[in-house]
Structure 1
């Protein structure tokens, strides 16, 4: 699980926790094996986070102001092994002038990017994941850069964003403290779609999207480790416009690009595409319309889905195209030994209408403002290692909204299955698929306390993260009562749970007793 993500000021009480899930079938289940708790401090401002380090363990990060209103903030890093036993703890007192912007992780180090507002001063915190040693690197980049991506390759930090409304990628060397800007990017009407790093070959790929003379231009600019522009690969199609793309490298001169596309320069996706790029020459993309996916419309109610499929069939028989436009939030590609898996959530922005106000003293005007994002479903598509489209599936997301546009659905390969899960209102919704088949229908599990005698008083927006193999991490903050009576003693803790998932008995029939108890309870411990 990558550490690369924005760091937001999150109220402690809205961070949530997953403590248990009910069995999917009679024997297939998420089972809690270990749980640790860290009491929260009512006298301090605290923020908790947890990151998977795979088989190397997990990293917990606590940001804490020891005294309410204090300007200096202490960062406490604790590494745990796979049994959730602490390996080391390291602390760092952060200068109050710097604010956290983004973080990034590779197998050996974790990095945090800090900025001093209204200046060109930046600070990089480098944490050795094996020993817990901290190194601090300072540099001057550009003032008031709107940072969108932060990555590290070798001993160089890449900070991508916008300066004076134009795209920019700044490279800062930890070794000699020099800073340079990658050439060929500072243009009007251009956006940075993604910054992809190839550690093996020492290459930096900046994927850009630009509109020139009403034409959408999607390009990959490839730089060497020193920041020299090596080549530009332009991808254009007469009818379709590529919106996003992720590179699957085969070797320095051979790769695949997978993403979504639209018709015209719009953010509304028409479907997915995959293209082979060899010797800097892209082949014609293979476009896959949403109407061609077998399970894309499974999120609809049966009658509506039938009407849509009937309309698709009728238009195809008449030789007409089927065009469906959706907004997609595409996740990082998941690569297994034999497959490349794409996960994307379908969403739309929610707007609210504010109260009317007088305008120039003559008329009344209603104002609309963004009120978060609503998710409808997530699609899962599989490609083979040669870039051929193989299968698709989906999971329905009902009435789920988020103020921030963020990845909600998690997919994890286990044996020959894929587990899909997302949190909502203190519950976890799951579905198990085997490629294009659903083998365990969607189920909902209430989140429960540590024991049957405890009552969870606060618990929402649960977090479930893949760890390694068949193991999962669940973490967050809970306020629980020591008994079922809510007036009894209470405690508030940040906790980490280790879960294991068993798929060996998926598909075996459940007894009547198991089926009835499954509906009313979550996982009891």
Structure 2
């Protein structure tokens, strides 16, 4: 009996040590005197391991407002602060960093008017310009190449998506050549300053088949190259992310479907210059962990059923819609993450127009529920090395946007995380080693700050080298029963 207790104690100690070793640390917390009723706040990660915090303070009628921008270093110490006098109805939309500047785009009540704030990251000096784009009523993506703006917008006349170039010096806007069909959309837009080009990946569809088209432009919006990526056999290419690099080295990494273009059947990689002649295709059943969000018996049953259907030449029955994340570059290749989702309708059947990672045009869905998230590792030639899965429970969004953040540590582990009130739900992936243990981290206040009573608008973003930052509004109760609202930033290191 004594020996049994000793062995049991040792085993329990090893389990506890393993859990404690993996639990992320929260070395720094910053609390700011913001109130969710009075302040709009955005937290933006900068490439020099710092953060930019934007907040807007306005009166009840939104007739007066002040816009503040503060930079914090890697230990959340203030570096500089500045403000801008924007119109009170300005609302933050997008941002993009091209050293030495960060650009923030603001929309207005007039849907054709936009303000772009340019901030010098070294000095904090801000300046802004107002632009009017008469033909559009929404902006979905914004990127900068050598000081020139590239926008994905929506036509106010027919609702089609448009790719535009805006010269900030002259204010001139031009529509870039592309296929702007009713069933076409952009799945990626990538600025590549090292090669002085920007690549736009378009999905073109006639409702029966789809293909990809990649257009490359220089800083002035002049077309450099145009690649039509044709389908192979019975496979339709649905969407893709593109890598940086020379044209001969660029890869497309994305998803494909078969007869029903609403659903993904697997993933593909292809050299851009090959037009998919040398593409690699990986269906869902080939992936080791894609179905691990299911119970083991259900997974085994699904695999047997689908294998029999494939042998009989029948269409697969599994139905997956995938929202891709940006590619993560690694020393040996790339990591692609995606969220599997399905729409929940209010009534009857409905359709929606997917804009890839840029969002969605609203239709009468209640929202989009997630089943799981996946990560796939590829080498530089596009060969699949591993895959892993993060089961998601009760995760839902009312817009088709990313619900979790994906980062990578220096030692190669992939981190997936999302906020849940005063907790962070996360998964640490060591390549294909699947772990079904649920892991969560409770957001910690200052020891002297008392107790966190409630949390509103929680968020988390990847920061640098396996470090994330969690943020949101807390209502804090102190030992003297005094309470106050604060905006918190917790540095989280995995």
- Which residue number in structure 2 is paired with residue 88 of structure 1? 80
Matched, 1:489 2:482: yes
Indicate the SS of the match to 2:299. Answer: helix
Indicate the SS of the match to 1:296. Answer: coil
- Which residue number in structure 2 is paired with residue 234 of structure 1? 228
Indicate the SS of the match to 2:463. Answer: strand
Do the aligned partners of 2:211 and 2:238 also contact (CA within 8 Å) in 1? no
Do the aligned partners of 2:306 and 2:317 also contact (CA within 8 Å) in 1? no
Deviation by residue 1:369-396 (Cα, 9 ceiling, x = unmatched): 4211111100110000111111101011
**CA drift at 1:54:** 4.1
Do the aligned partners of 2:148 and 2:220 also contact (CA within 8 Å) in 1? no
Matched, 1:423 2:419: yes
- The equivalences for 1:15-414 within 5 A come to 25-41=19-35, 45-65=38-58, 67-96=59-88, 98-118=90-110, 120-163=112-155, 164=157, 165-187=159-181, 189-212=183-206, 214-237=208-231, 238-264=233-259, 266-278=261-273, 281-315=275-309, 322-353=316-347, 369-414=364-409
Alpha-carbon distance in 2 for matches of 1:24, 1:176: 59
**CA drift at 1:323:** 4.9
Q: 1:386 to 1:61 in 2, by over 3 A?
A: same
**CA drift at 1:177:** 3.0
Do the aligned partners of 2:239 and 2:254 also contact (CA within 8 Å) in 1? yes
**CA drift at 1:255:** 1.2
**CA drift at 1:496:** 1.4
Do the aligned partners of 1:245 and 1:257 also contact (CA within 8 Å) in 2? yes
Matched residue count: 461
Q: 1:53 to 1:157 in 2, by over 3 A?
A: same
Q: 1:442 aligns with which of 438, 445, 449?
A: 438
Indicate the SS of the match to 2:74. Answer: coil
Alpha-carbon distance in 1 for matches of 2:472, 2:17: 22
Indicate the SS of the match to 2:194. Answer: coil
**CA drift at 1:455:** 2.6
* Consecutive unaligned residues in structure 2, runs of 5 or more: 1-15, 349-362
Alpha-carbon distance in 1 for matches of 2:111, 2:299: 54
Do the aligned partners of 2:90 and 2:106 also contact (CA within 8 Å) in 1? yes
After TM superposition, the score normalised by the length of structure 2 is 0.85
Q: 1:456 aligns with which of 447, 452, 459?
A: 452
Alpha-carbon distance in 1 for matches of 2:402, 2:72: 25
**CA drift at 1:95:** 1.2
After TM superposition, the score normalised by the length of structure 1 is 0.80
Alpha-carbon distance in 2 for matches of 1:422, 1:213: 34
Q: 1:100 to 1:157 in 2, by over 3 A?
A: same
**CA drift at 1:264:** 3.4
Do the aligned partners of 2:186 and 2:201 also contact (CA within 8 Å) in 1? yes
Alpha-carbon distance in 2 for matches of 1:108, 1:265: 46
Do the aligned partners of 1:78 and 1:87 also contact (CA within 8 Å) in 2? yes
Do the aligned partners of 1:161 and 1:192 also contact (CA within 8 Å) in 2? no
State the structure with bigger RCO (CA 8 A, min sep 6), 1 or 2.
1
Indicate the SS of the match to 1:183. Answer: coil
Q: 1:412 to 1:196 in 2, by over 3 A?
A: closer
Q: 1:100 to 1:205 in 2, by over 3 A?
A: same
**CA drift at 1:454:** 2.9
Do the aligned partners of 1:433 and 1:440 also contact (CA within 8 Å) in 2? no
**CA drift at 1:251:** 1.1
Alpha-carbon distance in 1 for matches of 2:470, 2:327: 22
